[in-house]
Amino acid sequence: MIRLFTRHRIRVHQELEGLWDFSTCSKEGEFPADYPFKLPVPGCWESHPALITYRGVGAYRTLLQVPVTGPARLLFEGVAHTAGIWLDGRRLGGHYNAYTPFHIDIPHLEAGEHELIVFADNSFSEASSLHIPNDYYSYGGIHRPVALEHPFSVYFERLEFIPRLEPDGQWMADVSVYLNALTRVEASLEVSLWLDGLPFAQLPLPSPPLGASVLRVRASFPQAQPWSPESPRLYRLEARLLMRDTQDSPVNAAPVDDLIERVGFREVRVQERNVLLNGQPVYFKGFNRHEDDPFAGSALGIQQMARDLAIMRDLGSNMVRTSHYPNDSRFLDLCDELGFLVWEENHARGLDLKQMENPNFERQCMDCNREMVENHINHPSIVLWGILNECASDTPEGREMYRKQFEQIRALDASRPLTFASNKSFRDLCLDLVDVVSFNLYYGWYNDHLPVDSFAELRNWVEINGGEGKPFFVSEFGASGDYGFRDPYRRAKWSEDRQADILESVFSAYTARPDVCGLLVWQFCDIRVHEEGGWFKARPKGKNDKGIVDEYRRPKLAYRVVKDWFARFGEGGSTR
């Protein structure tokens, strides 16, 4: 299931979920003589016992049964981490980054059987600036859903819906319709737009130009109900492409393409030290979450995603940060439906200046940013865009890269505040670039400083170094706790007891401050990390075990601590 709602009623759409043939190979384009494995798609090859540590290239093969001759499109929600797409022995294209969707247009495909081979590569090299051995695992494979579509020769590429709350309390929306024309169509075309079954715009499209084009409309929706965590009201936005055989015969207008999105009416705005949702300040309580599961790797199914959200809800949270990459669109669909607020961020973790100077870094980040925003802009749950977690924001060269990327994202979507999570306390040079200041702080774990004093000092420094009067998030805080390791004296680091105590003390320090509007625990669940890059020395059992639940989602002692603090600062009462 590529999304959690129907996207087309007119366009023919086939999901390519199932068992595909699989073989390891030494490079893209080297076609295996045989395929010894059958692996599920979506899935990570590490889920197979023989491939649990395989790093390299793998070839996935399936046979497509194409029902109609004409244009086709292959949609990939995520291939980890570099993809090469081949159809009937010919290369169609490629893509870098496990965590962003991409598609490949095939202008003409004959009906019948075709062989599709997807080379996936999860190896580390200079060519990959963002996937490096890191404090989370870069799995391999087609880890998110794939679909094959058969659109009309003019079709909807995507829809963009930006809701606006007018000063008189009315909802408006700016809707952009992105089209692509593969061939010239002489007939008269028209785009009609519908919200929950009611038409709101008709846009004539007299012979669309070849290639990409865009139509824009601003519409008002006086009856719209807002989307909020308490009442996550969603609407079905539907675009239909109608073709008339003669100029004036509306009766004979035939629908030839369509695209359905799910949208919500909500406004996010920063006002002084607050982030306002539909005009009301929000206190953000939540978790950093990696897409990781001991059996599924990064290819979580919707049951596992929904389970994680249910646990987070039980803990009393209202936000999830997609550390440290764009998440599966289905997870965001669930957040939309369940009323979770999301900080979605681009893909980067802890890169120093030398790593940011990799010649591929800028392009790979810019592609990731564009694909993240274009694909996820309609999710009402996303209230913050983030970039470059813990990168070189303390150097002038690093600052320039942060500046450029914020500029790029603002140009793509001016409707959401921007942030990044810094660990460069007292040295950060980028706080003036953001709408929301965010710091990752590990008081009590990586150092024994008392949070109360050190935090006050940092907070004061932020005010005179670019962050004056801005909302402030503690975007990460936490401590390791090895599930089942108990210390009756509550002293041993790595014990569940010490983890719980550290969280207790930092929660009490942060929640006492009126100038903190977001607290995101590091992290939701224990995750697999790389042995390479020195991680095995700092990560017992090959895991980052700062989870509030372990990798099997079993609660640790800290569960109760987090739940109590989140409940105390829940609806109807906050620290402020």
Nearer to ligand ADA, 263 or 509 (CB): 509
The sign one gets for the Cα dihedral 68, 69, 70, 75 is positive
Could you write out the DSSP letters of every residue in 204-220? Answer: EESSPPSEEEEEEEEEE
If binding is defined by CB under 6 A, does position 393 make contact with ligand ADA?
A: no
Rg (CA), the chain: 24
Nearer to ligand ADA, 277 or 474 (CB): 474
**In sequence order, what are the residues at sequence separation of 6 or more whose Cβ sits closer than 8 angstroms to the Cβ of residue 168?**
none
Measured from the CB of residue 290, what is the shortest distance to ligand ADA in angstroms? 8
If binding is defined by CB under 6 A, does position 405 make contact with ligand ADA?
A: no
If binding is defined by CB under 6 A, does position 155 make contact with ligand ADA?
A: no
Quick note: the x/- pattern for ligand ADA over 288-327, rule CB under 6 A, is ------------------------------------x---
Measured from the CB of residue 429, what is the shortest distance to ligand ADA in angstroms? 18
Measured from the CB of residue 33, what is the shortest distance to ligand ADA in angstroms? 41
Binding-site size for ligand ADA (CB under 6 A) equals 11
Query: Which positions from 117 through 136 interact with ligand ADA, judged by CB under 6 A?
Result: 135
Nearer to ligand ADA, 243 or 368 (CB): 368
Could you write out the DSSP letters of every residue in 260-283? Answer: EEEE-B--EEEETTEEEETTEE--
Measured from the CB of residue 545, what is the shortest distance to ligand ADA in angstroms? 9
Measured from the CB of residue 498, what is the shortest distance to ligand ADA in angstroms? 15
Nearer to ligand ADA, 77 or 135 (CB): 135
If binding is defined by CB under 6 A, does position 143 make contact with ligand ADA?
A: no
If binding is defined by CB under 6 A, does position 544 make contact with ligand ADA?
A: yes
Residue 483 has a CB neighbour count (10 Å cut-off) of 18
Measured from the CB of residue 224, what is the shortest distance to ligand ADA in angstroms? 38
CA distance 549 to 501: 16
Measured from the CB of residue 526, what is the shortest distance to ligand ADA in angstroms? 11
Residue in this structure with the two tokens 């059992």, named with its chain if needed: 541
Measured from the CB of residue 423, what is the shortest distance to ligand ADA in angstroms? 6
If binding is defined by CB under 6 A, does position 346 make contact with ligand ADA?
A: no
Is 528 exposed, middle or buried (CB count within 10 Å of its CB: 0-12, 13-18, 19+)? buried
Query: Which positions from 460 through 489 interact with ligand ADA, judged by CB under 6 A?
Result: 476
Nearer to ligand ADA, 257 or 292 (CB): 292
If binding is defined by CB under 6 A, does position 138 make contact with ligand ADA?
A: no
**In sequence order, what are the residues at sequence separation of 6 or more whose Cβ sits closer than 8 angstroms to the Cβ of residue 444?**
451, 479, 502, 505, 506
If binding is defined by CB under 6 A, does position 349 make contact with ligand ADA?
A: yes
**Using an 8 Å Cβ cutoff, are 199 and 299 in contact?**
no
CA distance 487 to 494: 9
If binding is defined by CB under 6 A, does position 258 make contact with ligand ADA?
A: no
CA distance 134 to 351: 10
Nearer to ligand ADA, 135 or 428 (CB): 135
Nearer to ligand ADA, 83 or 391 (CB): 391
**Residue among 73, 546, 553, 556 that touches ligand ADA (CB under 6 A):** 546
Residue 549, SS3? strand
CA distance 394 to 402: 11
If binding is defined by CB under 6 A, does position 545 make contact with ligand ADA?
A: no
Measured from the CB of residue 480, what is the shortest distance to ligand ADA in angstroms? 8
If binding is defined by CB under 6 A, does position 550 make contact with ligand ADA?
A: no
**Residue among 235, 522, 524, 569 that touches ligand ADA (CB under 6 A):** 522
Positions of E strands within 470-566: 472-476, 518-521, 527-528, 543-544
**In sequence order, what are the residues at sequence separation of 6 or more whose Cβ sits closer than 8 angstroms to the Cβ of residue 231?**
225, 339
If binding is defined by CB under 6 A, does position 439 make contact with ligand ADA?
A: no
**Residue among 128, 318, 440, 499 that touches ligand ADA (CB under 6 A):** 440
Q: Tokens in use for 192?
A: 């009609």
Strand partners, 259: 239
The sign one gets for the Cα dihedral 179, 185, 186, 188 is negative
Nearer to ligand ADA, 440 or 499 (CB): 440
CA 535 remoteness from chain centre: 25
**Residue among 122, 389, 438, 499 that touches ligand ADA (CB under 6 A):** 389
Closest CA to 377 of 332, 340, 420, 338: 332
The sign one gets for the Cα dihedral 51, 52, 55, 60 is positive
Measured from the CB of residue 476, what is the shortest distance to ligand ADA in angstroms? 5
Q: Tokens in use for 219?
A: 């519409």
Q: Tokens in use for 536?
A: 């095995």
If binding is defined by CB under 6 A, does position 422 make contact with ligand ADA?
A: no
Q: Tokens in use for 229?
A: 């965590």
Which residue is at the shortest CB distance from ligand ADA?
135
Measured from the CB of residue 477, what is the shortest distance to ligand ADA in angstroms? 9
Strand partners, 475: none
Measured from the CB of residue 546, what is the shortest distance to ligand ADA in angstroms? 5
**Residue among 258, 344, 390, 496 that touches ligand ADA (CB under 6 A):** 390
Residue 400 phi, psi dihedral angles, 5° rounding: -60, -35
Nearer to ligand ADA, 188 or 495 (CB): 495
Q: Which amino acid is at 495?
A: S
**Using an 8 Å Cβ cutoff, are 111 and 66 in contact?**
yes
Measured from the CB of residue 80, what is the shortest distance to ligand ADA in angstroms? 18
CA distance 13 to 72: 10
Nearer to ligand ADA, 470 or 546 (CB): 546
Binding site for ligand ADA (CB under 6 A): 135, 324, 349, 389-390, 423, 440, 476, 522, 544, 546
